[in-house]
């Protein structure tokens, strides 16, 4: 996985609440066996009109926010389905960081597996950021994961919390599986133990 | 296995039983007892295994079934090229990695969360995962079951473990006696209406109280299924005689170890005095049949209610969200829910397509005729077979329902079963998100008997007049 250190990029305000993963990427687009290429279908139900043309009102279609790397979201973003395709689509589109008051659990986890940083802030902090980035000339943010800070064009510096191991995984671009496989011996021992205590679990057909 | 004697919740017990290693206070390596796999969220995970030359650690604890993409008519010929490719990939992956597979055409095929319990694979005290958020369904058996993303699917395939942050404990007491015409679906919709779609975020919800005690396993599965719609990581219900009776004799249920298993299962319910991080109470006595009016499961009201007025909402974000919902749903504030006309009725999905659901719906439609397009999609081949044995298929067909083969179908519209833009549907599924049942489609979530009543009335209606 690629490492996440620091990004400087345009941040788009998308404050709708309860944005579900069906809205981020509809089921129709899940018929793929690849992780790539989903960016074109990101938010497709609201990004495009019936005839396939762009919905000019949608934030990511506005010329200034087309190249956004950061999305500032409403409450409970990413709720609904577990589809990691939602994160793949965001990433493929170019979004590397999300800022919101609250993310749905599975979506939040999925972000970290793909080098996307979800930042949780308080309501008033989000409202402040939205005010700032809504103006084109101050829409750029600097996200510094190492120092856990967000810098705005207006000179504000906002700190954020993140669990140390999640931070570390992003900074190092760590592949969880190889890390877990280092614990093979522990897993082996654990399996012997369950075999003894819960023998019915290890049998096909009871 | 823990030495600590302070009272524990059901969740704590299962968690402690499965921790292989505590990496730090926010991160534990957890053993996974059962991994269910379907065609949509797994291909990239198997691809990852191939690229890194890794194997599936425990093929015997992994079961795969195609459900999201499968046609519910003409099963032998899959028209959609992309669906065909995804289904072929699952078949190949299960062969290459030696995983048990219930293909189309096998009577055991069905929606992944229906077949786990049906086969007796789902048992109390287990950890169960699947690349699907409605894995929470299996919590009805007192198993810790939750949905994971594809990267985690790959992790479980390769290691039979998962890195997890401990969840918080929430208990929800559902007290009282449900009135006639009220089902498990109404309980969970009513509850989500109360706590909201983020009400359970970061928590595992344990449902208790006499309303839960008195529910069948089918009803309990409906409740736990929609825990994810309340934002919870998982739902849990303590195993009891109802649970044990359901499991006994099923294909993969313990046989020679039955008594030993039973003894263990009986040790699982939360201890007296166990602490919860939060608690909620829902009195069910006065609950009426529930129906959604908007595009989130929390947009719900009684069938006797009306479409809300955004102007009476003070919170600006919420007000905007109501405006958006009504706009999408094509509804006017103040409209009586019972006056909302329908184009279609869908009875199916992992929430409500078990035999009990079909029996209850058939009871309502018996001898009547549908006034909308309507279809029944049984949750599995075995549910379908059982229903046909009981003659339910005839009742549905005579009333004008289509009787289909099993799969996810119009719950998420990945196969050919879709709403057209603007079409309005009463559905027994779990999500009324924009476009969930087809682009531009409008969904009203209801119980199976409410769906049945809607089909024979042509509009949303109170099922109690037909009981
Ligand atoms: S029936 Fe619907 S909710 Fe259930 S697994 Fe299938 S798509 Fe998901």
- Kindly state the tokens that stand for B79: 């028209």
- Kindly state the tokens that stand for A153: 């064009």
**A70 DSSP β-pair partners:** A11, A97
Q: How far apart are CA B368 and CA B379, in angstroms?
A: 24
Would A1 be classed as within a structural domain? no
Query: What is the per-residue pLDDT for B4?
Result: 59
Predicted ipTM of the assembly: 0.94
What whole-number percentage of chain A has pLDDT above 90? 92
Q: How far apart are CA B150 and CA A194, in angstroms?
A: 26
Contact assignment for B165 to A18 by CB distance below 8 Å: no
* Best residue of A1, A14, A15, A33 to probe chain B, by most B CBs closer than 10 Å: A33
Contact assignment for B431 to A20 by CB distance below 8 Å: yes
Please count the residue pairs, one from chain A and one from chain B, whose beta carbons lie less than 8 angstroms apart.
200
pLDDT beneath 50: ranges in chain B: 1-2
Distance B67 CA to ligand 1 centre (A): 8
CB of B180 closer than 8 Å to CB of B163? no
On chain A, the residues whose CB falls within 8 A of the CB of B125 are 198
Task: Establish whether residue B226 lines the binding site of ligand 1, counting it when its CB lies within 6 angstroms of any ligand atom.
Answer: no
* Chain B contact for A135 (CB, 8 A cutoff): no
Q: What would the mean pLDDT of A33-41 be, rounded to a whole number?
A: 95
A107, closest residue in chain B (CA to CA): B149
**How confident is the model over A115-174, as pLDDT tens digits?**
999 999 999 999 999 999 999 999 999 999 999 999 999 999 999 999 998 999 999 998
**How many Cβ atoms from other residues are within 10 Å of residue B248's Cβ?**
13
Q: How far apart are CA B98 and CA B105, in angstroms?
A: 19
| Angle, in degrees to the nearest 10, between helices B448-457 and B355-365 | 30
B256, closest residue in chain A (CA to CA): A206
The continuous run of DSSP H or E covering A20 comes out as: none
Q: What is the largest CA-CA distance in chain B?
A: 63
Would A194 be classed as within a structural domain? no
DSSP state of B368: -
- Which of A26, A82, A190 comes nearest B147 by C-beta? A82
Which of B241, B223, B126, B218 is CA-nearest to residue B173?
B223
Q: How far apart are CA B404 and CA B395, in angstroms?
A: 14
**Shortest alpha-carbon distance between residue B364 and chain A (Å):** 31
Distance B348 CA to ligand 1 centre (A): 9
DSSP state of A144: E
For the CA of B113, the closest atom of ligand 1 is 5
Three-class SS state of B383:
helix
Q: How far apart are CA A141 and CA A134, in angstroms?
A: 12
**CA-only gyration radius of chain B, Å:** 21
Which of A95, A96, A20, A81 is CA-nearest to residue B147?
A81
Would A72 be classed as within a structural domain? yes
* Best residue of A20, A72, A204 to probe chain B, by most B CBs closer than 10 Å: A20
Task: Establish whether residue B430 lines the binding site of ligand 1, counting it when its CB lies within 6 angstroms of any ligand atom.
Answer: yes
**How many Cβ atoms from other residues are within 10 Å of residue A203's Cβ?**
14
pTM flag (> 0.90): yes
Would A183 be classed as within a structural domain? no
- Which of A15, A105, A163 comes nearest B202 by C-beta? A105
The continuous run of DSSP H or E covering B302 comes out as: strand B300-302
Task: Establish whether residue B349 lines the binding site of ligand 1, counting it when its CB lies within 6 angstroms of any ligand atom.
Answer: yes
Query: What is the per-residue pLDDT for A203?
Result: 61
Task: Establish whether residue B42 lines the binding site of ligand 1, counting it when its CB lies within 6 angstroms of any ligand atom.
Answer: no
**How confident is the model over A42-55, as pLDDT tens digits?**
999 999 998 999 99
B249, closest residue in chain A (CA to CA): A206
Q: How far apart are CA B201 and CA B196, in angstroms?
A: 10
Would A202 be classed as within a structural domain? no
**How many Cβ atoms from other residues are within 10 Å of residue B266's Cβ?**
14
CB of B144 closer than 8 Å to CB of B127? yes
* Chain B contact for A110 (CB, 8 A cutoff): yes
Would A189 be classed as within a structural domain? no
Contact assignment for A109 to B1 by CB distance below 8 Å: no
CB of B204 closer than 8 Å to CB of B165? no
DSSP letter string over B124-161?
A: TT-EEEESSGGGGGGGGGT-EEEE--HHHHHHHHHHSE
On chain B, the residues whose CB falls within 8 A of the CB of A36 are none
- Which of B80, B125, B413 comes nearest A27 by C-beta? B413
The total number of structural domains that make up chain A: 1
DSSP state of B423: -
- Which of A32, A104, A176 comes nearest B201 by C-beta? A104
Contact assignment for A31 to B82 by CB distance below 8 Å: yes
On chain A, the residues whose CB falls within 8 A of the CB of B148 are 82, 106, 109
Q: What angle do CA A41, B129, B5 make, to 5 degrees?
A: 140
For the CA of B38, the closest atom of ligand 1 is 5
* Chain B contact for A81 (CB, 8 A cutoff): yes
B421, closest residue in chain A (CA to CA): A50
- Kindly state the tokens that stand for A35: 């992780």
On chain B, the residues whose CB falls within 8 A of the CB of A186 are 20-21, 29
Query: What is the per-residue pLDDT for B196?
Result: 94
The half-sphere exposure of A20 on its side-chain side, counting CA atoms within 13 A, is: 24
For the CA of A27, the closest atom of ligand 1 is 7
Range of the domain at A161: 6-174
**A6 DSSP β-pair partners:** A144
What whole-number percentage of chain A has pLDDT above 70? 98
The half-sphere exposure of B229 on its side-chain side, counting CA atoms within 13 A, is: 28
For the CA of B112, the closest atom of ligand 1 is 5
CATH number of the structural domain spanning residue A73: 3.20.19.10
Q: How far apart are CA B212 and CA B221, in angstroms?
A: 11
* Chain B contact for A177 (CB, 8 A cutoff): yes
Best of B40, B42, B66, B134 for a ligand 1 pocket test (most atoms within 8 Å of beta carbon): B134
Would A144 be classed as within a structural domain? yes
Three-class SS state of A27:
helix
**Shortest alpha-carbon distance between residue A151 and chain B (Å):** 26
Task: Establish whether residue B411 lines the binding site of ligand 1, counting it when its CB lies within 6 angstroms of any ligand atom.
Answer: yes
Mention every residue, 6+ apart, whose C-beta is less than 8 A from residue B134: B113, B147, B225, B228, B350, B351, B430
Q: What would the mean pLDDT of A19-28 be, rounded to a whole number?
A: 96
* Chain B contact for A49 (CB, 8 A cutoff): no
Task: Establish whether residue B347 lines the binding site of ligand 1, counting it when its CB lies within 6 angstroms of any ligand atom.
Answer: no
Query: What is the per-residue pLDDT for B76?
Result: 82
**How confident is the model over A67-88, as pLDDT tens digits?**
999 999 999 999 999 999 999 9
Task: Establish whether residue B410 lines the binding site of ligand 1, counting it when its CB lies within 6 angstroms of any ligand atom.
Answer: no
B42, closest residue in chain A (CA to CA): A33
**Shortest alpha-carbon distance between residue A160 and chain B (Å):** 17
Would A78 be classed as within a structural domain? yes
Q: How far apart are CA B463 and CA B428, in angstroms?
A: 14
């Amino acid at each position: 996985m690629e490492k996440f250190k620091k990004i400087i990029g345009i941040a788009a305000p998308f404050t709708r609440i309860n944005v579900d993963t069906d809205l981020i990427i509809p089921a129709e687009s899940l018929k793929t066996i690849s992780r790539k290429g989903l960016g074109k279908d990101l938010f497709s139900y609201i990004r495009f009109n019936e005839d396939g043309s762009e919905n000019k009102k949608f934030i990511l279609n506005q010329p200034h926010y087309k190249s956004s790397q950061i999305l500032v979201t409403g409450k409970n973003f990413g709720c609904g389905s577990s589809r990691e395709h939602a994160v793949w689509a965001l990433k493929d589109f170019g979004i590397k960081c999300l800022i919101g008051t609250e993310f749905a659990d599975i979506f939040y986890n999925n972000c970290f597996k793909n080098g996307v940083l979800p930042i949780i802030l308080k309501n008033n902090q989000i409202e402040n950021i939205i005010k700032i980035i809504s103006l084109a000339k101050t829409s750029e943010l600097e996200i510094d994961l190492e120092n856990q800070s967000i810098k705005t064009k207006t000179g504000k510096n906002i700190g954020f919390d993140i669990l140390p191991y999640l931070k570390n995984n992003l900074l190092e671009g760590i592949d969880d599986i190889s890390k877990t496989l280092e614990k093979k011996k522990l897993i082996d021992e654990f399996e012997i133990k369950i075999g003894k205590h819960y023998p019915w679990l290890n049998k096909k057909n009871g | 296995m823990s030495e600590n004697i302070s009272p524990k919740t059901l969740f704590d017990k299962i968690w402690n039983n499965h921790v292989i290693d505590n990496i730090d206070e926010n991160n534990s390596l957890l053993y996974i007892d059962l991994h269910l796999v379907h065609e949509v969220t797994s291909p990239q995970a198997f691809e990852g295994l191939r690229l890194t030359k890794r194997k599936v650690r425990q093929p015997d604890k992994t079961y795969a079934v195609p459900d999201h993409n499968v046609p519910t008519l003409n099963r032998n010929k899959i028209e959609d090229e992309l669906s065909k490719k995804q289904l072929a990939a699952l078949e190949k992956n299960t062969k290459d990695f030696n995983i048990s597979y219930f293909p189309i055409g096998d009577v055991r095929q069905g929606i992944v969360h229906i077949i786990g319990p049906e086969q007796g694979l789902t048992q109390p005290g287990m950890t169960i995962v699947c690349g699907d958020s409605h894995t929470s369904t299996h919590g009805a058996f007192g198993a810790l079951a939750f949905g994971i993303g594809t990267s985690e699917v790959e992790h479980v395939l390769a290691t039979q473990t998962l890195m997890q942050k401990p969840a918080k404990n929430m208990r929800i007491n559902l007290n009282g006696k449900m009135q006639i015409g009220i089902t498990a679906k109404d309980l969970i919709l009513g509850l989500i209406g109360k706590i909201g779609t983020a009400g359970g975020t970061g928590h595992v919800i344990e449902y208790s109280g006499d309303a839960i005690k008195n529910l069948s396993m089918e009803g309990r599965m409906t409740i736990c299924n929609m825990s994810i719609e309340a934002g919870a990581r998982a739902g849990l219900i303590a195993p009891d005689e109802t649970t044990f009776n359901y499991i006994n004799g099923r294909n993969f249920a313990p046989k020679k170890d039955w008594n030993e298993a039973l003894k263990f299962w009986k040790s699982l319910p939360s201890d007296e005095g166990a602490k919860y991080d939060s608690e909620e109470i829902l009195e069910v006595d006065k609950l009426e049949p529930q129906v959604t009016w908007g595009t989130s499961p929390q947009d719900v009201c009684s069938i006797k209610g009306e479409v809300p007025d955004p102007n009476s909402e003070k919170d600006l974000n919420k007000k905007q969200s109501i405006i958006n919902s009504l706009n999408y749903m094509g509804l006017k504030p103040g409209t009586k829910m019972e006056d909302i006309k329908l184009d279609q009725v869908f009875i199916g999905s992992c929430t409500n397509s078990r035999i009990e659901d079909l029996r209850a719906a058939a009871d309502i439609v018996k001898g009547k005729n549908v006034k909308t397009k309507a279809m029944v999609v049984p949750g599995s081949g075995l549910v379908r077979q059982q229903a046909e044995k009981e003659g339910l298929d005839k009742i549905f067909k005579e009333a004008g329902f289509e009787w289909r083969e099993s799969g996810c179908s119009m719950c998420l519209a990945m196969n050919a079963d879709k709403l057209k833009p603007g079409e309005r549907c009463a559905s027994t599924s779990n999500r009324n998100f924009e476009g969930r049942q087809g682009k531009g489609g409008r969904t009203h979530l209801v119980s199976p008997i409410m769906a049945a009543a809607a089909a024979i009335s042509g509009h949303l209606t109170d099922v109690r007049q037909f009981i």
